[in-house]
Amino acid sequence: MIRFHLKCDKDHEFESWFQSGNAFDRLVAAGMVSCATCGSTAVTKTIMAPAVSTSKTIAPPKPAENPLHKLRDEVEANSDYVGNSFVQEARDMHDGVIPERPIYGEAKIDDAKKLVEDGVPVLPLPFVPRKKTN
């Protein structure tokens, strides 16, 4: 498989994968390659940078070194997971119905916006809680 950077006669640029360079040529000649934006079949290859691999493998950061992993670990260690009852729990704490405590869970976007509009201090988390993952 090979990926080509392509351009149509209307100057729209896009990429696509082909079995080989010859397969690309045959498909273009048959009018079977079209612009992803406008549908034009007048498509040509553009200059592209080759994919270069290095002999040195760069390892991804260990989970403990990743700031999002650290944040998730901190939240999960010091807060109660309340799942889908997050909106009600947050509202009840704000209204003084139940004692305040750190919580996290799920909320529909409209419900979360309503909490913010009502002055309930909530923030979206930039990760999926482990309790929700398999």
Question: Is 51 domain-assigned?
Answer: no
pLDDT at 81: 92
Look at strands 2-8 and 103-105 and give their pairing: unpaired
First to last CA, the chain: 33
In a domain, 72, yes or no: yes
d(CA 28, CA 103): 57
Asked whether residue 55 is domain-assigned, the answer is no
Q: How many domains does the chain have?
A: 2
- Expressed as residue numbers, the domain containing 93 is 63-129
> Based on the domain organization, do 69 and 125 belong to the same domain?
yes
Task: For residue 53, tell me if it sits in a domain.
Answer: no
Residues 72 and 124 in one domain: yes
pLDDT at position 134 is 45
Predicted local distance difference test score (pLDDT) of residue 65: 61
User: Low-confidence residues of the chain, pLDDT below 70?
Assistant: 49-56, 58-65, 132-134
